Structure 1
Amino acid sequence: MSGKRIKKHHFVPKVLQKAFCSDGDHIWFSSRDHESRFGAVEDRNIESTFRVKDLYTILDGNEKLSDVIERMFYGRIDDYLGRILPEILDCLGRGEVPVFSRESLDGLRRVVYEMIKRTPEFTGRFDDLEIGTNFIQGIMDHLREYPDLEQQAFCEEVLLDETKLTHFGRSIKVRGLVHKSDLVYDAIAEFEPRWAVINGKHSFILSSLIAYRVGNGGPNGLANPKMEIWMPIAPKYALVMVRDPKGRIPLRVEEPRDHVRQINEYAVKNSSHLASHSHKLLISLIGHGGLSK
């Protein structure tokens, strides 16, 4: 096994992107610039899309940069999706609905929840430098009461180095990101999968949000019993996680054009990166064109 650290981390797995490709491993892609405007729509290879340098990099026990979260946590999630998504798409393509065992359904719920958390839209709410600075200053405060000259010297050195502070802050953030919460897992255990299917010419896009929490008139948190989680898995299909204890919602629902447009517009409004199999669709959503093939 190579000891080379993985530096570029996909926050939207390539296996999910593949379903939205226009040609081979190519996808139509656009991202926001420094002024929060979407740039040109480009024909890009999915190796270069939806990825950020050191997004999940942490410090190991020797304070060395490590890709263990990318490899061992998100890597396993991506392997899981690589196995299950083709089976789901094949089943939906035959006009059927996927059937899950209790254990596999629990795994699906947890993966969807992790997909919500892994994106820049979620992690970007926390500033790595600020987290790291607060952490080191907290240690300094503790050392005033319980002096340790070696620790104090170390903290004083780190406080003068924004790069080190950022590494500490990102490590704390990422470790918190993958921390298991029994309270949350208990809440998502109430959700059941439904499948939104498109039979017309309209299509879902793929965005950096990956899974959209839709409040249906209320807040989009887990406390809202009407909240749904929409996760497009292909241009014509979306996984929808809902609370439906009385079984009133059909397992497979055909989506009208207007509602698909609303879902896509929600993604555009709240995402930093967008992709689609359709150049025309992406242009229609962001309001301008870009590069052609």
Structure 2
Amino acid sequence: MRSSSTPIPKRHHFVPIMLLENFVDAEGWLHIHRRQNPVIGVHRVRPNNAFLESDLYNLINIDGHRDPTLERQLSIIEGVVADIFGQIITEARQGKAPSLSPQEIEQVLIYQHLQWKRTPDVQRGVTSDVEGFQMMDKLLAELEAKFPNRTAEIASFRQVENQRRILHNARVGSVTSLSSEALSAMRSRGLAIMHITARNKQFIIASQPMLKLTRPGRTHLADPVVELWFPIAPDVAIGLGTGRGKPTLWPMPDSSWLRSFNRGLAEQSSSFAAGSPNLIRSLANPR
């Protein structure tokens, strides 16, 4: 039985603090722009107050009880990959491809897949709130037609609070339904590490922190022309390699591509941040 003294976490980071702390300025601040609050503009926050939502990964029962199983599982996974990410960053800055075991590479690939699925930007992009409610209304109408003697019971699910709870729980459940096809494609590619060696150039971190680059008609992750990059530090990103084997390091002394890369992350995200306020202002107010 769960102890009543055990606190249920409510503040859930969809980009974990262990990553956000890599992007802070010299005083420990993130400079962030949130599209839902454009009047505030670019402002500074501590990592524990960025990229989070209340109860994001808690299942909510009809009586209001919160089940924090997924949030706690994600915390465990984040703890495992934090050490691996630290090794990747350290060795990339030394000009070396990380010496990861097959198990560590697998853990990184699984985490990349989870990170893609867990963000509100992706979830609401797949099914918006309006679309979710429309789907439920259609299903309830079908149930009422099929079970006319249970219309009162079915009608209770038309209450806004119940519909929000059902949609929320569906999204929570979708996080852990990993795609075997996607993971197989990622395994076939292996792991690549990109390191920016140009001075005073940096990646941003965003609410949808992974950028997929494709060509017309070529979008499958198994296709070597498709890129999927995930910045884990201002100068280091992990992505898909060109084939199975040891991780490969891509030093990037030329930064001419970086502006377009950061703009792509910003445009697909509801919020984005970096240690540089000027960089975030330039992306929030492009000329």
| CA shift in 2, pair 1:218/1:144, >3 Å | closer
**In structure 1, distance between residues paired with 2:17 and 2:252:** 27
Check conservation: 1:231, 1:239, Cα contact below 8 A.
Answer: yes
- 1:117 counterpart residue number: 117
Equivalent position amino acid for 1:141 in 2: E
Deviation at 1:155, TM superposition (A): 2.4
Deviation at 1:24, TM superposition (A): 4.7
- 2:57 counterpart residue number: 56
**In structure 1, distance between residues paired with 2:282 and 2:268:** 16
Q: What SS does structure 2 have at the residue aligned with 1:190?
A: helix
The answer to which of 133-142 and 263-272 deviates more is: 133-142
Equivalent position amino acid for 2:250 in 1: R
Equivalent position amino acid for 1:163 in 2: E
Check conservation: 2:97, 2:193, Cα contact below 8 A.
Answer: yes
**In structure 1, distance between residues paired with 2:217 and 2:130:** 34
- 1:75 counterpart residue number: 75
| CA shift in 2, pair 1:188/1:245, >3 Å | closer
Per-residue deviation, residues 50-92 of structure 1 (Å, max 9, x unmatched): 11222223234876332322222x2223212322222222222
Check conservation: 2:205, 2:272, Cα contact below 8 A.
Answer: yes
Deviation at 1:30, TM superposition (A): 1.1
**In structure 1, distance between residues paired with 2:22 and 2:216:** 31
**In structure 2, distance between residues paired with 1:223 and 1:99:** 23
**In structure 2, distance between residues paired with 1:212 and 1:218:** 17
* Mapping for residues 196-235 of structure 1, pairs under 5 Å: 196-200=194-198, 201-216=200-215, 219-222=218-221, 224-235=223-234
**In structure 1, distance between residues paired with 2:63 and 2:253:** 52
- 2:85 counterpart residue number: 85
| CA shift in 2, pair 1:196/1:183, >3 Å | closer
**In structure 2, distance between residues paired with 1:214 and 1:114:** 19
**In structure 2, distance between residues paired with 1:230 and 1:255:** 17
**In structure 1, distance between residues paired with 2:130 and 2:168:** 8
| CA shift in 2, pair 1:255/1:162, >3 Å | farther
* Mapping for residues 233-252 of structure 1, pairs under 5 Å: 233-244=232-243, 251-252=249-250
**In structure 1, distance between residues paired with 2:284 and 2:146:** 56
Per-residue deviation, residues 131-163 of structure 1 (Å, max 9, x unmatched): 3664476366346546774xx53321221x201
| CA shift in 2, pair 1:268/1:38, >3 Å | farther
**In structure 2, distance between residues paired with 1:141 and 1:173:** 22
- 1:30 counterpart residue number: 33
Q: What SS does structure 2 have at the residue aligned with 1:210?
A: coil
Check conservation: 1:31, 1:38, Cα contact below 8 A.
Answer: no
* Mapping for residues 1-293 of structure 1, pairs under 5 Å: 2-33=5-36, 39-60=40-61, 64-72=65-73, 74-125=74-125, 126-128=127-129, 130-131=131-132, 134-135=135-136, 138=139, 141-142=142-143, 144-145=145-146, 149=150, 152-159=151-158, 161-200=159-198, 201-216=200-215, 219-222=218-221, 224-244=223-243, 251-287=249-285
Q: What SS does structure 2 have at the residue aligned with 1:256?
A: coil
**In structure 1, distance between residues paired with 2:118 and 2:169:** 14
**In structure 2, distance between residues paired with 1:130 and 1:263:** 30
**In structure 1, distance between residues paired with 2:121 and 2:242:** 24
Q: CA RMSD in A?
A: 2.8
The answer to which of 62-71 and 162-171 deviates more is: 62-71
**In structure 2, distance between residues paired with 1:237 and 1:204:** 8
**In structure 2, distance between residues paired with 1:70 and 1:148:** 39
Q: What SS does structure 1 have at the residue aligned with 2:257?
A: helix
Structure 1 unaligned spans of 5+:
289-293
Check conservation: 2:143, 2:154, Cα contact below 8 A.
Answer: no
TM-score (norm 1): 0.84
Equivalent position amino acid for 2:68 in 1: D
Number of residue pairs aligned between Structure 1 and Structure 2:
281
| CA shift in 2, pair 1:272/1:58, >3 Å | same
Deviation at 1:128, TM superposition (A): 4.2
Kindly, what percent of the aligned residue pairs are identical? 21
Equivalent position amino acid for 1:138 in 2: L
The answer to which of 215-224 and 121-130 deviates more is: 215-224
Q: What SS does structure 1 have at the residue aligned with 2:193?
A: strand
